[in-house]
Amino acid sequence: MQHTKLIAGTILLLLVAIFTAQNAAVVTISFFFWEVTISRALMIFFVLAIGIITGLILANFIKQHKQL
């Protein structure tokens, strides 16, 4: 089971690295009154990191909730 997760994570990381390398253009992100110019690769990295952190937090929350 651990090997499967490691292999899947490695493949996902490789695909994200290829995707971000091909999308290095600069984009402008607007959110309400906030506006920032950032490379698309960094934006993809930040969105992926936020998704992973959110998934880990939710998984821990669900695990603790089941134990109660």
Mean pLDDT in runs of 10 for the chain (68 residues)?
Answer: 84 85 86 88 85 93 83
pLDDT of res. 19: 79
pLDDT of res. 9: 86
pTM of the predicted protein model: 0.59
pLDDT of res. 16: 77
pLDDT of res. 1: 66
pLDDT of res. 29: 87
The CA–CA distances, whole Å, from 1 to 4, 5, 13, 60 equal 5, 6, 18, 18
Residue 54 half-sphere exposure toward CB, CA atoms < 13 A:
6
